[in-house]
């Protein structure tokens, strides 16, 4: 068996803010093979960007390991670390912030091609830049090469960012909300391009989004990891997570999708939450971090013991006492279960300002 492309094992990231410790990511593990798609879904502040930066080697985790082709990246010699950094490229949410405003598209793409000696000379580099523009559907390329970022639409700028990520021939692309700043109409065609790149180039994707509908569209052949307050609460193949969500939080996320997607709407049995407030990372609830918001909360269990991410079957895992006990058929649970509080009509909003 060849080593997996990228493996995060028990990764935690803690930030210090003055005297408080923010547990942005706690004990996250996942594995990506070449060509895999893993979608990280969660509300803002759930640790998605932090995990993306860890996966790309931009941030060293407080504890846990990141392995690239079997090697711990934080113990690699400098040149091997550089190869790893090249192999994993990030496409950010805001292409305005990540593209240099005084560089033309040509310069933006040619610079890394020359810097990394991928192109033999300037002529070769421009030729390669043009092919990359075609790959991201900016055609004809001659029309786009001389343009500056401000002369492009948001969607076109994002395509240039993607082309730039492709200059170094990455094996994994971390797409961090890469489609969330463009109009809905353009979003679908951008997603289509990303999907085609995945299929044609065999690049693996860590696709980060707060929007389960995007995850469904992009990662149908892949897996979804649902993050809540820095922890993975549910992980599994996309069709089963979307079609049969197990964790109450995943169910709430699905219910919150505003898009009139018929498949998803069917799941929307108007799921409610006990509370709309997301607890602070600096002061996490005891037991299950979701218990203050969970309709199925069982006192004496959920507020006391932290549920582990346990395998449900060969492919799925969930961190929820209720799901785990129901699966093992505990009767005791039924008698302890609270009736859902009624009249609390708060719904989950995924995107906070
Ligand atoms: N460099 C940093 N220093 C301090 N806190 C940070 C830093 N980066 C992120 N955080 C905090 O970590 C938490 C997770 O952030 P982030 O990974 O950006 O979440 P998401 O991308 O899901 O919105 C947030 O509370 C955020 O404020
Ligand atoms: Mg983010």
Query: Residue 335: pLDDT above 80?
Result: no
Assess whether pLDDT exceeds 80 at residue 341.
no
Does the C-beta of 55 come closer than 6 Å to ligand 1?
Answer: no
Mutate which of 12, 13, 15 for ligand 1? The one with the most ligand atoms within 8 Å of its CB, which is 15
353 pLDDT band (50/70/90 cuts)? very low
**47 CA distance to ligand 1 centroid (A)?**
6
Ligand 1 atom at minimum distance from 210 CA: 22
DSSP string, 314-347: SS-EE--HHHHHHHHT-HHHHHHPPPPPPS----
| Residue nearest to ligand 1 atom 25, measured at CA | 45
Name the closest-CA residue to atom 24, ligand 1.
45
* Any atom of ligand 1 within 6 Å of the Cβ of 42: yes
In the chain, the percentage of residues whose pLDDT exceeds 70 is 88
- How far is Cα 311 from Cα 13, in angstroms, rounded to an integer? 24
Give the SS3 label for residue 299. Answer: coil
Sorted by where each starts, the structural domains of the chain and their CATH numbers stand as 6-229 (3.40.50.300), 244-336 (no CATH)
Tens of pLDDT, residue by residue over 289-329, are 999 999 898 999 999 999 999 998 889 999 999 999 888 87
Average pLDDT, the chain: 87
Angle at 95 between CA 92 and CA 98, to 5 degrees: 75
Is residue 61 in contact with ligand 1, taking CB distance under 6 Å? no
Tokens of 158: 């994002």
228 pLDDT higher than 90: yes
How confident is the model at residue 204, as a pLDDT?
96
What's the pLDDT tens digit per position in 94-151?
877 889 999 999 999 999 999 999 999 999 999 999 999 999 999 999 999 999 999 9
C-beta of 49 in contact with ligand 1 (< 6 A): yes
Q: How far apart are CA 44 and CA 180, in angstroms?
A: 13
Question: Closest ligand 1 atom, CA of 230?
Answer: 14
- In the block, tokens 């895999």 appear at 36
Structure tokens at 230: 């820095």
For a substitution probing ligand 1, which of 14, 44, 45 has the most ligand atoms within 8 Å of its CB? 45
pLDDT confidence of residue 181: 76
Ligand nearest to the CA of 228: 1
pLDDT in tens, 39-72: 999 988 999 999 999 999 999 999 999 999 999 9
The answer, yes or no, to whether any atom of ligand 1 lies below 6 A from the CB of 138, is no
Ligand nearest to the CA of 41: 1
| Residue 22, ligand 1, Cβ within 6 A | yes
Nearest-CA residue for ligand 1 atom 7 is: 15
Q: In terms of C-beta density within 10 A (0-12 exposed, 13-18 middle, 19 or more buried), how is residue 186 classed?
A: middle
Atom 3 (ligand 1) nearest CA: 15
Identify the residue with better confidence: 155 or 255.
155
Does ligand 1 lie within 6 Å of residue 284's CB atom?
A: no
């Amino acid at each position: 068996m060849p080593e997996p492309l990228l493996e995060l094992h028990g990764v935690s990231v803690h930030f210090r803010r003055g005297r408080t410790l923010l547990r942005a990511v706690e004990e996250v593990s996942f594995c990506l093979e070449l060509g895999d798609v893993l979608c990280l879904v969660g509300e803002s502040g759930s640790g998605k960007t932090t995990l993306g930066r860890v996966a790309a080697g931009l941030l060293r985790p407080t504890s846990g390991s990141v392995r690239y082709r079997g090697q711990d990246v934080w113990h690699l010699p400098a040149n091997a670390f550089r190869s790893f950094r090249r192999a994993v490229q990030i496409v950010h949410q805001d292409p305005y912030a990540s593209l240099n405003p005084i560089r033309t598209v040509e310069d933006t793409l040619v610079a890394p091609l020359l810097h990394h000696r991928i192109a033999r000379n300037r002529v070769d580099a421009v030729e390669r830049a043009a092919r990359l523009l075609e790959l991201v559907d900016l055609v004809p390329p001659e029309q786009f090469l001389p343009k500056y970022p401000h002369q492009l639409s948001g969607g076109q700028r994002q395509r240039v960012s993607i082309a730039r990520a492709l200059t170094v021939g990455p094996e994994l692309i971390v797409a961090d909300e890469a489609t969330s700043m463009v109009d809905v109409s353009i979003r679908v065609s951008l997603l289509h391009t990303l999907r085609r790149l995945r299929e044609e180039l065999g690049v693996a994707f860590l696709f980060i989004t707060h929007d389960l509908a995007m995850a469904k569209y992009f990662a149908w052949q892949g897996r979804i990891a649902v993050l809540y307050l820095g922890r993975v609460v549910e992980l599994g193949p996309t069709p089963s997570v979307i079609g049969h969500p197990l964790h109450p939080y995943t169910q709430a996320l699905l219910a919150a999708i505003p898009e009139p997607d018929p498949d998803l709407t069917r799941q929307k049995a108007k799921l409610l939450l006990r509370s709309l407030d997301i607890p602070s990372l600096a002061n996490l609830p005891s037991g299950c971090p979701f218990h203050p918001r969970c309709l199925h909360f069982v006192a004496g269990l959920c507020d006391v013991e932290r549920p582990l991410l346990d395998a449900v079957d060969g492919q799925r895992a969930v961190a929820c006492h209720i799901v785990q006990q129901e699966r093992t058929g505990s009767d005791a649970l039924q008698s302890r279960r609270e009736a859902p509080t009624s009249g609390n009509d708060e719904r989950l909003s995924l995107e906070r300002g």
